[in-house]
Amino acid sequence: MRKVLFLCTGNSCRSQMAEGWAKKLPAGKVEAFSSGTAPGDGIDTRAVKVMAEAGVDISGQKPKHLDNFRDAEFDLVVTLCDNARESCPVYWGKACKIHNGFDDPCTLTPEGSTDEEALPHYRRVRDEIKAFVEALPEYF
């Protein structure tokens, strides 16, 4: 089984979605993890909501710092946001590294936006990440 690390800045939304999809979709082919360079305190509740709508429960996942994986070996490291691509420390492992940036849905709507205003952005990003994760086996 191939080990994949999804890396983002806050590890609260896009990388968590990717980890959730990777645990569900290519079952038995990918062991998925996610982390951040500056993880927050919790997962974005709107990300949890739209993933649940698609049948993927990420409510038990927690943001983790990249340093938690210092001793781990991965086959693939995927950065998902431009901040992570620019601010990531040099990855110390021998993994193949790729970048596939996705919009940050929480920045696409103004602060204080309702779910009705924000969730369409989260759903679009969720679906884009799903399509990317479905194609992951081609990277191995």
The pair phi, psi for residue 78, each rounded to 5°, is: -115, 120
- Domains within the chain, CATH numbers bracketed: 2-139 (3.40.50.2300)
Q: pLDDT (tens digit, 9 = 90+) per residue, 20-50?
A: 999 998 777 889 999 998 898 999 999 999 9
Q: Which residue has the tokens 């194609």?
A: 135
> Mean pLDDT, the chain, as a whole number?
88
Report the catalytic residues: 8, 81, 88
pTM of the predicted structure, to 2 decimals: 0.91
Q: pLDDT (tens digit, 9 = 90+) per residue, 88-110?
A: 545 566 788 888 989 999 888 88
Nearest to 22 by CA among 32, 8, 12, 35: 32
Lowest mean pLDDT of 38-47, 56-65, 79-88, name the range.
79-88
Give yes or no for a contact between 75 and 6, defined as CB atoms under 8 angstroms apart. no
